[in-house]
Structure 1
Amino acid sequence: MSAWIKNIFGFILNQFKRLYPSYFQSNNLTKVFNYYYVPGLFATSGQPNVHQLNLIAESDYEVVINLAPTSILEGSIIDEKKILTSKGVIYVHIPVNFKKPLITNFDKFVENIKQNKNKKIWVHCAANMRVSAFVYKYRRDELGLEDKDINKDLKAIWTPNNTWQSFLNLE
């Protein structure tokens, strides 16, 4: 439950950061909401603000995959694609409904990871909850890693609810 509370308050704080960016600007990418680095794979996070999107591009990330639907309620940056592609970053948008994740979404995620496997990748959604679940499933189902070795990375962000436990076959 504490991870849920942390994510709710973090999401609200992230909205204030979008409204008052000059008070919250940092040139440290680890300050992006719910930042988590998956060793040997990619950086993950909640929704970066405009300043952070520019930092991601300036930090030589070549691909950004966004799993959040485009919605003000989700904290989306409406011009995210334009911001990133103008800096030469490949932008991939796979909108995943938090209440109903689909295996077709996951398949698109895997396809894009494989297409860009030799590139520096950043993956985000609104709060890193969709992402952490997709990364867990990718590492388990595609890379063959065991739950005991990767579960801590998922739990660092949240404990999946029933919908996501079912999606991840954790029941």
Structure 2
Amino acid sequence: MGDPIDIPNWYRLDDQLTTSGQPSGEQLAAIAALGVRDVINLALHDHPRALPDEAATVAALGMRYIHIPVVFDAPTTADFERFCAAMADRGTRPVHVHCIVNARVSAFLYRYRREVLGWDEAQARPALDAIWRPGGVWARFIGDTARAELPHQMMATPPQT
């Protein structure tokens, strides 16, 4: 089975890690069919595009659901620490990480790759830039002081890798 590229901003980072915007119930089933065992959601449950009772949908598909609600205008170090703990807890199980449009996720993974995995800028930045170029609070969150006073710039069409 191929990747469910119809999910908004679908992005495969490697064999064990995929990301996207908000998947539907049917799309979560396609993610489960890929062998994914953990789903991490960084979006708020009360967002208009959030899936009603996503935790139950994910559980019914045999996957583990981890919810780390990150307020878009106020990501915190505590949010990042919870994310790092969830990534460590999954071990080598395939994981899908999503939010509403894959902006939160790409920023968290960029920071995770830099701070936890020790990747350099040239290794970590392309996956972030494929989705967006954060400004403001998100630029500060990832340590990009050059963009801290600039607005966010979303990419038109992320690559479907």
TM-score by length of 2: 0.85
Secondary structure of 2:73's match?
coil
User: Does residue 14 of structure 2 align to residue 45 of structure 1?
Assistant: no
| Correspondence for 1:121 among 95, 98, 102 | 95
Secondary structure of 2:61's match?
coil
| Correspondence for 2:45 among 67, 70, 75 | 70
Tell me the residue number matched to 1:95: 69
Q: CA offset at residue 28 of structure 1?
A: 4.6
RMSD: 1.3
| Correspondence for 1:153 among 117, 122, 127 | 127
Q: Provide structure 2 residue ranges, at least 5 long, that are not aligned to the other structure.
A: 146-161
Which digits, 9 at most, give the CA deviation of each residue in 1:11-70, with x for residues without a partner?
xxxxxxxxxxxxxxxx85122100111125400000001110111122221000000001
How many positions carry a matched residue from both structures? 144
The answer as to whether partners of 2:68 and 2:79 remain within 8 angstroms in 1 is yes
Alpha-carbon distance in 1 for matches of 2:14, 2:61: 25
Alpha-carbon distance in 2 for matches of 1:133, 1:104: 15
Structure 1 runs, 4 residues or longer, greater than 4 Å off: none
User: Does residue 7 of structure 2 align to residue 35 of structure 1?
Assistant: no
Q: Which amino acid in structure 2 is aligned with residue 103 of structure 1?
A: T
The answer as to whether partners of 2:9 and 2:20 remain within 8 angstroms in 1 is yes
Alpha-carbon distance in 1 for matches of 2:115, 2:14: 17
Q: Which amino acid in structure 1 is aligned with residue 143 of structure 2?
A: N
Tell me the residue number matched to 2:152: none
Tell me the residue number matched to 1:20: none
Which shows bigger deviation, 42-51 or 55-64? 55-64
Q: CA offset at residue 148 of structure 1?
A: 1.6
The answer as to whether partners of 2:9 and 2:131 remain within 8 angstroms in 1 is yes
Q: Which amino acid in structure 2 is aligned with residue 151 of structure 1?
A: R
Tell me the residue number matched to 1:136: 110
The answer as to whether partners of 2:4 and 2:30 remain within 8 angstroms in 1 is yes
Tell me the residue number matched to 1:81: 55
Tell me the residue number matched to 1:167: 141
Between Structure 1 and Structure 2, the one with more helix by share is 1
Tell me the residue number matched to 1:54: 29
Alpha-carbon distance in 1 for matches of 2:132, 2:40: 20
The answer as to whether partners of 2:3 and 2:34 remain within 8 angstroms in 1 is no
TM-score by length of 1: 0.80
Secondary structure of 2:133's match?
coil
Alpha-carbon distance in 2 for matches of 1:138, 1:41: 15
